Amino acid sequence: MKYFLLFLLTATVFYQVGAQTLESINKQQGKERGDETARRLIAVQPDFTAESTCLNYENTMGLGFGALVKTAKKDGWYRHESETFIDYFIPGEAPVHYTFKNKQYIAYTGEVDNHLWFMSVESPALLALDKSLKFEIVGRTEVDLKITGKTKQRQQIKIKVTGKTEIGGDLDEAVAFLYVVPDLKNLVVKTELIFPKGGRNCTLRNISFIVPDGLFTAFRTYRHVK
């Protein structure tokens, strides 16, 4: 069974970047440089912990469900923990799924073999390593974020991500949007993943830049002995 990491969409105020601003970006750096500018914004993500609220939805049936996931990043590795499992994402390797019930680690090699790039959307620094993906700055948002107990309205840069899979079809129509907060070390605090028949929205809250070493201890041990 495939598990998705999901986050609850919170209310935001959206406005388009002025045409003159986008035109200036395009003129100054060109289309390829514009892609690299957007890519660099998400390439170096800070270490952090956060609560991730999630919403997954279907367009055809109008169905949706939510969940709470504890997210952490440290030294390039991502960790997403729910009540029943933990998913680990690390650069250059297949994601690893751990279940509390079976106490087993399972590598999702199919995601790498089929280039299911969108499965790493909630681990955005990994997307920046994929040279086949296209990145584009398309707008800005404002949102209230709680950092170490304090809520403050902050500006975000909206980045569009597109790519192809080895399967094709509807999967190649997937579009992701990443929301970067410049004054939070370019942290991606929100993602949107849109498919023809549904999608998911993801938002971080209660963000902290202090990451306990113990969160990744068990996984490091597994990698050492496997």
pLDDT digits (tens, 9 = 90+) for 37-61: 999 999 999 999 999 998 888 866 6
pLDDT band at 215 (very low <50, low <70, confident <90, very high): very high
Give the C-alpha separation, 46 to 68, whole Å: 21
End-to-end CA distance of the chain: 23
- Give residue 8's pLDDT: 31
Q: CATH assignment of 13-225? A: 2.50.20.10
Question: Does position 225 have pLDDT exceeding 50, yes or no?
Answer: yes
Q: Confidence band (pLDDT; 50, 70, 90) for 30?
A: low
48-to-58, 152, 170 alpha-carbon distances in Å = 30, 18, 33
In the three-class reduction of DSSP (H, G, I as helix; E, B as strand; rest coil), residue 109 is classed as: helix
- Convert the pLDDT of each residue in 82-137 to its tens digit: 999 999 999 999 999 999 999 999 999 888 888 999 999 999 999 999 999 999 99
Q: To the nearest 5 percent, what fractions of the chain are helix, strand and coil? A: 25, 45, 30
Decide if pLDDT at 194 tops 80. Answer: yes
pLDDT greater than 60 at residue 10 = no
Examine the pLDDT at 1 and tell me if it is beyond 50.
no
Domain spans of the chain, in order of start: 13-225
Query: How far apart, in whole angstroms, are the C-alpha atoms of residue 190 and residue 205?
Result: 9
- Tell me the C-alpha distance between 198 and 200, whole Å: 7
For the chain, give the mean pLDDT: 84
